[in-house]
A and B are shown apart, each in its own frame.
Chain A
Amino acid sequence: AQRVTQPEKLLSVFKGAPVELKCNYSYSGSPELFWYVQYSRQRLQLLLRHISRESIKGFTADLNKGETSFHLKKPFAQEEDSAMYYCALMAGGTSYGKLTFGQGTILTVHP
């Protein structure tokens, strides 16, 4: 069975500082990895997915299969980045379409 771990429940940084939200996964096959964000009082939104290799709002994430990690990074955090961030994995085969989420990390960016 697949599993996603976000070791930090809370993460605080100051504006302009680099930020890294950690995500590790376990899955025997070839996963599809995502980061979702939930701003205060808003719905869960897709931030980025590893297969598209995009940079959204300055965030990037690289899939490291050797370390089974998909950490989310931003070189200069902004106050508007304060939100709950979820790492999620989509397995293949019969689990197609089903997401396994980590527990989430609350990021607070202080002015």
Chain B
Amino acid sequence: NAGVMQNPRHLVRRRGQEARLRCSPMKGHSHVYWYRQLPEEGLKFMVYLQKENIIDESGMPKERFSAEFPKEGPSILRIQQVVRGDSAAYFCASSPDGHGYTFGSGTRLTVV
């Protein structure tokens, strides 16, 4: 089992472009969580998804950010029209039951 796979590891986008971050959960895990780590801060919850459903998106900015976890394929965190303040490390975690988490290595987004 390869663990939680996130790609790309590093992503550079110009202001106004779109960023797509992918997360493949561990085999058998149907719960996916996205967290953001801004510079000098701890990880902040963004969104919790189960297959095809958003369970809790209370940490997601209301505009420009969206997440999905389709029946087939990875979970995608999409940021439209990126701004400098979106520069951060984005971590995905998966769980079989909402208890034991396994984290991915993260995607470091830099907006220039």
- Residue ranges of A at the interface with B (Cβ–Cβ < 8 Å): 4, 6, 36, 42-46, 86, 94-104
Contacts and interface: CB of A to CB of B under 8 A. Distances in A.
Contacts, number: 49
Given A96-B98, A97-B95, A44 B103 contact: yes
7 contacts: A44-B91, A46-B100, A97-B31, A97-B99, A98-B56, A99-B101, A104-B42
A101 B42 contact: yes
Interface string B1-30: 001100000000000000000000000000
A96 B98 CA distance: 7
B65 interface: no
A98 B35 CA distance: 10
Contacts of A99: 33, 35, 43, 45, 101
Nearest to B91: A44
Interface in B32-82: 33, 35, 41-45, 48, 55-56, 59
A78 B13 CA distance: 40
Contacts of B45: 98-100
Interface of B: 3-4, 31, 33, 35, 41-45, 48, 55-56, 59, 91, 93, 95, 98-101, 103-106
Determine which residue in A4, A42, A86, A99 has the highest number of CB atoms from chain B within 10 A of its CB, and name it. A99
Lowest 9 A-B CB distances belong to which pairs? Answer: A97-B98, A103-B42, A44-B103, A101-B42, A101-B43, A43-B105, A43-B103, A98-B45, A104-B42
Contacts of B59: 98
Contacts of A102: 42
Contacts of B101: 46, 99
A8 to B, nearest CB: 13
Nearest to A6: B42
Contacts of A45: 103
